[in-house]
Chain A
Amino acid sequence: MKRMSRKHLATPYVFWIICFTILPLIYIAWYAVSDGDGGYTVENILAIFEPVHWKAFVLSIELALICTVVCLLLAYPVVLILRRLKIKKKGTIVAVLILPMWMNFILRVYAWQVLLSDNGIINSFLGMLGLPSINIINTPAAIVFGMVYDFLPFMILPIYNSLMEIPNDIIEAAKDLGADGFTIFRKIIWKLTLPGVISGITMVFVPAMTSFVFSDILGGGKIQLIGNVIEQEFTTSMNWQLGSGLSIALMTIILLIMALLQKSNQQTKGNNMIW
């Protein structure tokens, strides 16, 4: 078909992006720099450095980092095993990982509260086995636990996709040239799955860093993450300027982190979409 006419099919979508992706971002940025009385200020953005906010922010980064690392450590072996077992039905694997999403997200996190609470199911089970109980509910550990649970599929899928794309003969060629299992992993498999890993890290780190649900449900409401702080500015404190300022600050810092991550991996370009 004529390339000209085909391009124009995207017009409604371009319009949609401008209206509901670009303009809202401009809007929130404008809110962030306005002081509510018609003037402009950067105070709301710099408010991220105020001790209360900064503490929540640092804790958020810490928990998100731990969550990301744990997800990576749990997910990578899964993917390697799937390849070794020659399980190639991608559809089934995706379905198994996505299926839990059809049970309401809030309910699933809430179920962990039931499982993890001091007299909850896991502890009753441990008690029956005569093992010491774990008391992690309402601690940062429980928050991380919930996050890892919810985000693990988003780490597995992109790595799985990039690993399955490696043709077998590349690995055989490495063997042929004398590489042992560990060398093959380090020099071939890890390198070639890096785009998947980075995409997985993005898919896990950003929501883990910004969500307020896990801390609400599993942190007992006492642990404040940056997500909680921003949410409260909009729901209870009703300070939209401050909330927007903090959002913009958060977004900027996340973008910086992501840019650094991408830069550390300049060579591996290509398609690192998860779907």
Chain B
Amino acid sequence: MVKNVFGRIYIGLIMLFLYAPIVVLIVLSFNNSKSRAKWGGFTLKWYSELFDNSIVMDALWTTLTLAILSAVIATVLGLLGAIGIDAMKKRNYQIMLGATNIPMLNADIVTGIALMLFMVRFLPLGFSTMLIAHITFNIPYVIFSILPKLQQIDVSVYEAARDLGANSVKAFWKVIIPIIKPGITSGFLLAVTMSLDDFIITYFTRGAGVNTLSTVIYGEIRRGIKPEMYSLSTILFLMVLIVLVMSNRASKKQVK
């Protein structure tokens, strides 16, 4: 099929577009020259120097803690929220959905500034304000991952569990949670991803001296980004890639 060949080429070009910058960054992480325009030979020195760079390591630590912590809290709040919203009557349900949509639809810059203006009244800007901000924009992703799964559940599944002798908590824990588990997992992973990738909201809610990778890099742009950043990003990216490929393989084997 000629059409299919063109189709594949087109998809290939889009993939190239999406992944070109990533390839560039990976290549730069092995570049011996500090200039980003010239290839100065292959080196691993940015990888070894990475661990001595306290600014980068601190930022990495903050970024990861922020991502995991905000995703965990958002998942718990979001799971409870989704279950509650699912049980609501039409009017409240619509109101809650609308409110949940606000952080997703509102401009990041407005969300960031609004949170900053509000929180600065009673909290010093720093890790805690960043954490609250990240939880706030993560929850909608969790809720919108879980809610559709809850709505797909046949009520009789829960009733069957009760019929077979499970009390309400047990029926919920043993039946409903396993069914919506894919939604919980994807909500959590999305939350981690969004937290890691965020710049604008973090930028407005952070305090002096507390940095994530994004804010460090943003600050370095004018002066030139330290090559250690490339190697760090490469490591993070490849780790996620490997995990993804492996989980994909595992799920394929399960199917077989």
A107 on the interface (CB 8 Å rule)? yes
State whether A114 touches B36 (Cβ < 8 A): yes
**One of B8, B148, B186 near A85 (C-beta < 8 A):** B8
A residues 89-148 touching B (CB-CB < 8 Å):
91-92, 95-112, 114-115, 117, 119-121
Contacts of B100 in A (CB 8 A): 17
Contacts of A100 in B (CB 8 A): 18-19, 21-22
Inter-chain CA distance A202–B198, complex, in Å, is: 18
A42 on the interface (CB 8 Å rule)? no
State whether A78 touches B14 (Cβ < 8 A): yes
Interface string of A1-18 (1 = CB under 8 A from B): 111001111111110110
How many Å from the CB of B158 to the closest CB on chain A? 7
Assess A8 versus B84: contact at CB under 8 Å? Given A85-B4, A107-B229, A114-B36.
Answer: yes
A49 on the interface (CB 8 Å rule)? no
B246 on the interface (CB 8 Å rule)? no
B96 on the interface (CB 8 Å rule)? yes
B residues 199-256 touching A (CB-CB < 8 Å):
199-200, 204, 213-214, 217-218, 221, 225, 229-230, 233, 236-237, 240-241, 244, 248, 251
State whether A106 touches B114 (Cβ < 8 A): no
B55 on the interface (CB 8 Å rule)? no
Question: Which residue of chain B lies nearest to A28 when distances are taken between CB atoms in the complex?
Answer: B114
Contacts of A97 in B (CB 8 A): 18
How many Å from the CB of A64 to the closest CB on chain B? 11
State whether A101 touches B81 (Cβ < 8 A): no
State whether A216 touches B87 (Cβ < 8 A): no
A residues 1-44 touching B (CB-CB < 8 Å):
1-3, 6-14, 16-17, 20-25, 27-28, 31
How many Å from the CB of B58 to the closest CB on chain A? 15
Inter-chain CA distance A11–B83, complex, in Å, is: 11
Inter-chain CA distance A209–B109, complex, in Å, is: 10
Interface centre among B92, B148, B233, B241 (most CB of A within 10 A): B233
Question: Which residue of chain A lies nearest to B182 when distances are taken between CB atoms in the complex?
Answer: A91
Question: Which residue of chain A lies nearest to B78 when distances are taken between CB atoms in the complex?
Answer: A13
State whether B114 touches A25 (Cβ < 8 A): yes
State whether B10 touches A227 (Cβ < 8 A): no
A251 on the interface (CB 8 Å rule)? yes
Interface centre among A3, A20, A96, A217 (most CB of B within 10 A): A20
Q: How many A residues are at the interface, by size bracket?
A: 35 or more
Contacts of B158 in A (CB 8 A): 1
Interface centre among A25, A77, A244 (most CB of B within 10 A): A25
Assess A24 versus B117: contact at CB under 8 Å? Given A10-B84, A100-B18, A110-B225.
Answer: yes
**One of B3, B96, B148 near A271 (C-beta < 8 A):** B148
B28 on the interface (CB 8 Å rule)? yes
B54 on the interface (CB 8 Å rule)? no
How many Å from the CB of B225 to the closest CB on chain A? 6
**One of A12, A149, A212, A243 near B80 (C-beta < 8 A):** A12
A194 on the interface (CB 8 Å rule)? no
Chain A at the B interface: SS class: helix
Contacts of B133 in A (CB 8 A): 20
How many Å from the CB of B66 to the closest CB on chain A? 14
How many Å from the CB of A267 to the closest CB on chain B? 18
Contacts of A101 in B (CB 8 A): 193-194, 196-197
Question: Which residue of chain B lies nearest to A105 when distances are taken between CB atoms in the complex?
Answer: B197
Inter-chain CA distance A74–B83, complex, in Å, is: 37
State whether A258 touches B105 (Cβ < 8 A): yes
Interface centre among A22, A24, A120, A230 (most CB of B within 10 A): A24
State whether A104 touches B105 (Cβ < 8 A): no
State whether B168 touches A1 (Cβ < 8 A): yes
How many Å from the CB of B174 to the closest CB on chain A? 13
State whether A121 touches B197 (Cβ < 8 A): no
A residues 179-234 touching B (CB-CB < 8 Å):
202, 206-207, 209-213, 216-217, 227, 230-231, 234
How many Å from the CB of B237 to the closest CB on chain A? 5
Inter-chain CA distance A41–B248, complex, in Å, is: 57
A254 on the interface (CB 8 Å rule)? yes
Counting from the closest, the 3 A-B pairs by CB-CB distance are A10-B84, A13-B81, A111-B21
A sample of 17 more A-B contacts (CB under 8 A), given A27-B114, A244-B117, is: A7-B87, A7-B92, A9-B83, A10-B96, A16-B77, A78-B11, A84-B7, A95-B244, A102-B240, A103-B25, A105-B198, A107-B225, A107-B233, A110-B225, A152-B18, A212-B200, A275-B187
Q: List 17 A-B contacts (CB under 8 A).
A: A9-B84, A10-B85, A13-B81, A13-B84, A16-B139, A20-B133, A78-B11, A100-B18, A102-B236, A102-B237, A102-B240, A104-B214, A107-B230, A111-B28, A210-B107, A212-B200, A217-B221
